[in-house]
A and B are shown apart, each in its own frame.
Chain A
Amino acid sequence: EPEVTQTPSHQVTQMGQEVILRCVPISNHLYFYWYRQILGQKVEFLVSFYNNEISEKSEIFDDQFSVERPDGSNFTLKIRSTKLEDSAMYFCASSELVNNSPLHFGNGTRLTVT
């Protein structure tokens, strides 16, 4: 069964550094998402992306965050200057371009900011 893949599985970075989290969505999916889950908290929506542009974003997704689809397969989340509170599991997801299509998640990248 096709799956969403994310790399790396764990990223440790120092506060103030830039990180790029990578995702390869399912190949025939056209909607892409980033979610995050801070330890012990709920899964939170960050951003959705369709047709090479952001379609929705949450309050969390401020100017420090950006997304990109640099080629036909990758979907990246960049955090320009990481803060301690950015430490979380970051999940990429994708869905088909049909009504009532569920999100399919990757296994996540655990980001630790020290």
Chain B
Amino acid sequence: DQQVKQNSPSLSVQEGRISILNCDYTNSMFDYFLWYKKYPAEGPTFLISISSIKDKNEDGRFTVFLNKSAKHLSLHIVPSQPGDSAVYFCAARVTGNQFYFGTGTSLTVIP
């Protein structure tokens, strides 16, 4: 039951360029979406979120876009920095408190 999908297991980007991480979901009842960043041997760290009533949320270098009609979520990081190299998980929640996570995309930012 894969309600949240990240179809790209890995992504490599040059430093200074834009990183775009994608996420698709199947459950139209999701009302809250999040992106997490995870370094090895650490827990996921919250990055940015968006409510289903919005289509864009920006925080510094990070912007999350939500396309409800396409059931698609993306995270843009610009400019990308080597310290951004990590695994990125998208997550979604149906009203309540169960969050569903994607399988993650490993981002490598090349100096």
Contact = CB atoms under 8 A, between A and B. Distances in A.
B44 interface: yes
Q: Among A4, A95, A102, which residue has the most Cβ atoms of chain B within 10 A?
A: A102
Nearest to B32: A100
Interface stretch (B12-20, B45-53, B72-80): B45-53
Interface residues of B, number: 23
Interface residues of A, number: 26
Contacts of A91: 43-44
A69 interface: no
A110 to B, nearest CB: 9
A105 B51 contact: no
20 contacts: A4-B43, A35-B101, A42-B2, A42-B102, A42-B104, A43-B89, A43-B101, A44-B101, A45-B99, A45-B100, A91-B43, A102-B34, A103-B34, A103-B91, A103-B99, A104-B46, A105-B43, A107-B41, A107-B42, A107-B43
